[in-house]
Amino acid sequence: MRPAYEANVTAGSSAIGAPDLEAPRANGVWTLAGDRLIIVDAGGPATILVPTEQVRLLEVDLPLANRAKRLAALPFAIEDRIAEPVEAVHLALGAEVAPKRYLVGVVDHDYMARWCAIADGNGLAHAAIVPDALALPRPAEGAWAVDLGESRAVVRAGDGTGFAVPVAMLRTVWESAGRPPVTSYGATLPDDMMAGQGLWDLSGLANPALDLRQGIYARRNAAQSSFWRRLGWIAAIGVAAHVVIATADTLMLRSIANRRATETRALVATIAPGTNVGIDLVGDVTNLLPTGSNARPDAFVPLVTRISGALGPLAGSLNVRAMNFQANALTMDVEGTEPGLAGRIDAALRAARVEGKVTNATDGSIRITANGA
């Protein structure tokens, strides 16, 4: 694996944080070169490897029963092992590396915020963020796994921790550590250091020993994010559909109201020729009522509207001769030449659920009596 800051960046791209592929992937192991993501293994688990130089990896004794209690005790367990105030750094609890002993990552909040922004901006909000030393296989106790690059060496120790140093310092650090046996996963090491050559296997990153995306920096599951996006679209479509339906209902009611108003105006023109009915239909029709009577104007207009709507299909077959509204009852005399007209009027009123009675007068006219209650 090419370590961070030593990967070849594709020329010609000026987008900060843009991945070195045509589009972000849902999976794959990535490493950072500055603020740019470089693909390492397109088929690997979604992981971003960050420079171990910015992460301090510690072993911490936490002999507590569950993870919640270990997280609560973690700041107190490491406060005397770091120079910074505990609240100034991000603490991530990792895997158990020995009985009751856990791997812990300590990283500055500025680094975590920047790494998360790069991940989120490239469609990798669901990816784990792992120090690149932990991408190396964990060697046996007392041994090292080393990825030697051009300018830096990444080391995974047998205790599960790791670190990174400039190449020039590797031998000094190795000798200070007691000259542990080294398995190389990068460039060839000097003969006295190298105990063997290893092959990269990044499948272990599916369950990394330490994922820095915890607490306020926790990663978001891709499937969940997709679900919520789909749910948002469904909700938006539902709202739009309700708006369309409500608009259609409003237009339909307006159309019905306009039609009823037209029918009422025609009826007024029939029984009171020359009467000017303006915009205030209710007021103008009410003014036609006889004064001093027991008429109830509030009931008159709705009743006339219902009757005119019911008789609308028969408008060409009848003429209104007279109309009277008294004591909440409307009496309307109509005439027509078509046979069976009284029966058709009665059927039309029943279909419109208008309570009324249709009778034939001796003079050949038809009387409609309807109750406004």
Domain range summary for the chain, segments of one domain joined by +: 29-220, 263-371
Residue 217 · residue 120 · CB < 8 Å: no
Give the type of residue at 353: R
With 0.75 as the threshold, say if the pTM is over it.
Answer: no
C-alpha R_g of the chain = 43
Worst-scoring range by mean pLDDT, 14-23, 33-42, 244-253, 255-264? 14-23
Residue 28 · residue 39 · CB < 8 Å: yes
pLDDT tens for each residue of 162-178: 999 999 999 999 999 99
Structure tokens at 79: 């406060």
Residue 300 · residue 293 · CB < 8 Å: no
pLDDT tens for each residue of 107-131: 999 999 999 999 999 999 999 999 9
Report whether pLDDT(215) > 80: yes
- Which class in CATH covers the domain with range 263-371? alpha beta
**Range list of H helices, the chain:** 67-78, 109-121, 167-176, 222-271, 281-287, 297-310, 341-351
Predicted local confidence at residue 225, as pLDDT: 47
Between CA 313 and CA 27 the distance in angstroms is 69
* 29-220 under CATH 3.30.420, yes or no: yes
